[in-house]
């Protein structure tokens, strides 16, 4: 689904660019064809007075350009007739010049289309989004732990479908946990500045009750953020050995289906499971804190009446 | 090109010189807009749109590379690495086009996108470790490419959300 959305977006951008380039170059060529032909010196002021004269047939001294598709054998008369016809249709009028410039500018400066996702984001929707990515990561960790359980049930000879399931869950875990890991890393990197910026977004919320609740519970919100920061750090610290253990188990089992039965294999299995449980526990702490934040930001009846 | 440089005194062009100048300006302007601007990045909406378009295109190239790399072994891994680094470069260029207000307003999101790229990049040492641990190169490369492709799709989705939120390219 994600990649489909992404490709749709890319296709629309490509189509837009194609149209822009088409407009730009076709207008450039058309303009050059109409206006960049040499004209005889005696007729150079014709366009000022609106005179369109047809020269004598056979006079091809100055009308031949050859560069823009006019055959070298064309007579001056034919070219001039074409130009006269164009002039009658208004192609050499100032209106056409303005029209051409407008088209050129359109092609040059591009389309002003916007992503349809822009309306989806509202200030303050960050908590719900955080809850969603935490829940997604929790599901991925639980699935990986379940596949570990299946491996531990077949220590003597792990069947291919169980090994494949372990490999798939390890991959899925890497993908589904990307957002929460990135957020945790950003929280660690930015520290208090992260909370300060997030608090700023709360002030932009339309609902005055939520704004008032955010101001009233500012210190509790900050405390919750500190808990989230700590839990994120601990979850990140446990996640790396968890993922590494999963991958190592997968490699060992691919080489030897009974690898989990050896003492080193069972140790690895146990350590990986413990790290997974720790990640799950810390994700639970984050979820609880986020629920607490949601409660704090929910306007009370009295404040919503105001 | 003859019409551009023909300066024969006998030939007088109707609107010739101004139009030549305009077309030349627009053409060169287009090239300048697409290429790296050596004197600091402009922060205009057009520059932002161009930079964002380049990031998306590069993500497409990376996506293609992850699909074809398993057929080329170690050489495929090198190609994927180069495409990923190019994606990082185009993203860095996009960040340069943001206005100070956009950069400040989206500091958290941008930090997450930065962290996301760092995390995604971990697939390369993981691949090296897997090969060193005895996993066949093709199998390790296929797994790495799958993870890379999917994580980059998630990352691009986040980038699009962030750009939409910050109104990148709006003007």
**From first to last of its 306 residues, what are the pLDDT tens digits of chain A?**
343 333 334 444 444 455 555 665 666 666 556 555 555 555 554 444 443 444 444 444 333 333 333 333 344 545 555 555 655 555 555 655 555 665 555 544 544 444 444 444 555 568 899 999 999 999 999 999 999 999 999 888 899 999 999 999 999 999 999 999 999 999 999 999 999 998 888 888 888 888 899 989 999 999 999 999 999 999 999 999 999 999 999 999 999 998 888 889 999 999 999 999 999 999 999 999 999 999 998 887 665 554
Q: Does any CB of chain A come closer than 8 Å to the CB of residue B59?
A: yes
Q: Are A213 and A300 in contact (CB under 8 A)?
A: yes
pLDDT grade for B22, boundaries at 50, 70 and 90: low
Domain shared by B81 and B121, yes or no:
yes
By C-alpha distance, the chain A residue nearest B24 is A28
Q: Does any CB of chain A come closer than 8 Å to the CB of residue B171?
A: yes
d(CA B113, CA B162): 9
Domain shared by B97 and B15, yes or no:
no
B154 and A178 within 8 Å at the Cβ level: the answer is: yes
Q: Which of A31, A37, A108 sits opposite B30 (nearest CB)?
A: A108
Q: Mutation test of the interface with chain B: which of A1, A2, A6, choosing the one with the most B Cβ atoms within 10 A?
A: A6
Domain shared by B98 and B68, yes or no:
yes
* pLDDT at A203 (0 to 100): 83
Contacts of A185 in chain B (CB under 8 A): 112, 115, 118-119
**Of A83, A109, A135, which residue constitutes the final position of a domain?**
A109
Q: What residues form DSSP beta bridges with B10?
A: none
Domain that holds residue B9: 1-35
Q: Which of A13, A47, A108 sits opposite B53 (nearest CB)?
A: A13
| Segment 13-42 of chain B within 8 Å of chain A by CB | 13-16, 19-20, 22-23, 26-27, 29-30
B115 and A178 within 8 Å at the Cβ level: the answer is: no
Domain shared by A30 and A98, yes or no:
yes
Which whole number is the average pLDDT over B150-159?
97
Q: Shortest Cα distance from B128 to chain A (angstroms)? A: 12
Domain shared by B20 and B93, yes or no:
no
What does DSSP say about strands B12-13 and A38-39: parallel, antiparallel, or unpaired?
antiparallel
A171 and B146 within 8 Å at the Cβ level: the answer is: yes
Domain shared by B6 and B53, yes or no:
no
| Residue A115 counted as domain residue | no
* pLDDT at A165 (0 to 100): 95
| Residue A119 counted as domain residue | no
Q: Are B148 and B123 in contact (CB under 8 A)?
A: yes
By C-alpha distance, the chain B residue nearest A34 is B14
Domain shared by A173 and A101, yes or no:
no
Q: Report the complex ipTM.
A: 0.77
- Listed as own residue / partner, the contacts of B18-23 with beta carbons closer than 8 Å and 24 or more positions apart are B19/A31, B19/A32, B19/A35, B19/A36, B20/A36, B22/A101, B22/A104, B23/A28, B23/A31, B23/A32
Contacts of A44 in chain B (CB under 8 A): 12, 14
| Residue B171 counted as domain residue | no
Domain shared by B96 and B150, yes or no:
yes
pLDDT grade for B162, boundaries at 50, 70 and 90: very high
B147 and A198 within 8 Å at the Cβ level: the answer is: no
Domain shared by B97 and B47, yes or no:
yes
Q: Which of A2, A31, A101 sits opposite B154 (nearest CB)?
A: A2
Q: Which of B12, B161, B170 sits opposite A121 (nearest CB)?
A: B161
Residue A168's CB: how many other CB atoms inside 10 A?
A: 16
Domain shared by A132 and A262, yes or no:
yes
Domain shared by A297 and A246, yes or no:
yes
Q: How many domains does chain A divide into?
A: 2
* pTM of the full structure: 0.67
| Segment 103-122 of chain B within 8 Å of chain A by CB | 107-108, 111-116, 118-120
| Residue A118 counted as domain residue | no
A6 and B59 within 8 Å at the Cβ level: the answer is: yes
B3 and A68 within 8 Å at the Cβ level: the answer is: yes
Domain shared by A99 and A131, yes or no:
no
Residue A211's CB: how many other CB atoms inside 10 A?
A: 18
A178 and B60 within 8 Å at the Cβ level: the answer is: no
**Of A109, A141, A165, which residue constitutes the final position of a domain?**
A109
A255 and B11 within 8 Å at the Cβ level: the answer is: no
Domain shared by B91 and B20, yes or no:
no
Contacts of A247 in chain B (CB under 8 A): 126, 129-130
Nearest to B9 by CA among A62, A64, A80: A62
Q: Residue A59 corresponds to which tokens in the numbers above?
A: 């006079």
| Residue A288 counted as domain residue | yes
Percent over 90 (pLDDT), chain B: 72
* pLDDT at A300 (0 to 100): 73
Domain that holds residue A57: 2-109
* pLDDT at A146 (0 to 100): 96
Q: Cβ contacts of residue B118 below 8 Å, gap of 6+?
A: A185
Q: Does any CB of chain A come closer than 8 Å to the CB of residue B2?
A: yes
Contacts of B154 in chain A (CB under 8 A): 2, 175, 178-179
Domain shared by B122 and B49, yes or no:
yes
* pLDDT at A71 (0 to 100): 36
Task: List, for residues B108-126, the tens digit of each pLDDT value.
Answer: 999 999 999 999 999 999 9
Region at A78 (left for phi over 0; alpha for psi -120 to 50; beta for the rest): alpha
The rounded mean pLDDT for chain B is 86
Q: How many domains does chain B divide into?
A: 2
Domain shared by A166 and A102, yes or no:
no
Q: What CATH code is carried by the domain that includes residue A222?
A: 1.20.120
Domain shared by B84 and B157, yes or no:
yes
| Residue A299 counted as domain residue | yes
Q: What CATH code is carried by the domain that includes residue B121?
A: 1.20.120
Contacts of B153 in chain A (CB under 8 A): 2-3, 6
Domain shared by B56 and B132, yes or no:
yes
Higher pLDDT pick, A259 / B51 = B51
Domain shared by A92 and A155, yes or no:
no
Which whole number is the average pLDDT over B6-22?
53
Q: Shortest Cα distance from A305 to chain B (angstroms)? A: 31
- How far, rounded to the nearest angstrom, does the alpha carbon of residue A221 sit from its chain's CA centroid? 30
Domain shared by A69 and A34, yes or no:
yes
Domain shared by A270 and A227, yes or no:
yes
Domain shared by B14 and B76, yes or no:
no
Contacts of A196 in chain B (CB under 8 A): none
Domain shared by A47 and A147, yes or no:
no
């Amino acid at each position: 689904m994600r990649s489909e959305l992404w490709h749709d977006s890319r296709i629309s951008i490509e189509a837009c660019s194609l149209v822009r380039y088409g407009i730009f170059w076709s207008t450039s060529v058309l303009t050059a064809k109409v206006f960049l032909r040499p004209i005889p010196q005696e007729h150079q002021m014709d366009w000022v007075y609106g005179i369109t004269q047809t020269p004598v047939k056979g006079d091809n001294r100055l009308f031949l350009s050859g560069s823009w598709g006019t055959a070298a054998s064309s007579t001056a008369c034919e070219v001039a007739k074409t130009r006269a016809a164009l002039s009658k249709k208004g192609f050499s009028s100032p209106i056409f010049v303005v029209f051409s410039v407008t088209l050129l500018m359109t092609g040059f400066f591009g389309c002003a289309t916007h992503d349809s996702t822009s309306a989806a984001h509202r200030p303050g929707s960050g908590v719900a989004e955080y809850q969603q990515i935490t829940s997604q990561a929790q599901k991925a960790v639980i699935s990986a732990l379940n596949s570990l359980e299946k491996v531990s049930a077949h220590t003597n000879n792990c069947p291919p479908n169980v090994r494949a399931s372990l490999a798939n869950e390890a991959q899925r875990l890497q993908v589904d946990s990307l957002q929460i890991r990135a957020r945790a890393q950003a929280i660690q990197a930015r520290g208090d500045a992260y909370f300060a910026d997030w608090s700023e977004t709360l002030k932009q919320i339309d609902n005055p009750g939520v704004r008032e609740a955010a101001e009233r519970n500012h210190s509790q919100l900050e405390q919750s953020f500190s808990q989230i920061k700590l839990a994120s750090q601990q979850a990140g610290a446990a996640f790396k050995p968890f993922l590494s253990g999963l991958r190592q188990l997968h490699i060992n089992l691919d080489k030897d289906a009974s690898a989990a039965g050896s003492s080193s294999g069972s140790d690895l299995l146990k350590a990986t499971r413990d790290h997974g449980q720790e990640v799950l526990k810390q994700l639970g702490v984050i979820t609880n804190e986020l629920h607490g934040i949601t409660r704090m930001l929910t306007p009370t009846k009295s404040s919503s009446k105001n | 090109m003859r019409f551009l440089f023909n300066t024969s005194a006998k030939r007088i062009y109707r609107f010739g010189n101004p139009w030549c100048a305009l077309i030349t300006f627009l053409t060169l302007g287009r090239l300048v807009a697409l290429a790296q601007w050596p004197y600091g990045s402009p922060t205009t909406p057009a520059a932002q749109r161009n930079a964002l378009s380049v990031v998306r295109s590069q993500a497409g190239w990376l996506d293609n590379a992850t699909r074809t790399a398993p057929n080329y072994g170690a050489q495929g891994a090198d190609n994927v690495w180069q495409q990923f680094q190019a994606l990082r470069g185009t993203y860095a260029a996009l960040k340069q086009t943001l206005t100070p207000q956009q950069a400040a307003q989206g500091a958290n999101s941008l930090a997450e996108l930065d962290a996301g790229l760092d995390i995604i990049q971990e697939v390369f040492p993981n691949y090296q470790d897997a090969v060193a641990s005895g996993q066949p190169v093709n199998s390790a490369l296929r797994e790495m490419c799958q993870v890379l492709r999917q994580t980059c799709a998630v990352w691009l989705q986040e980038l699009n959300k962030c750009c939409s939120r910050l109104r990148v390219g709006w003007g």
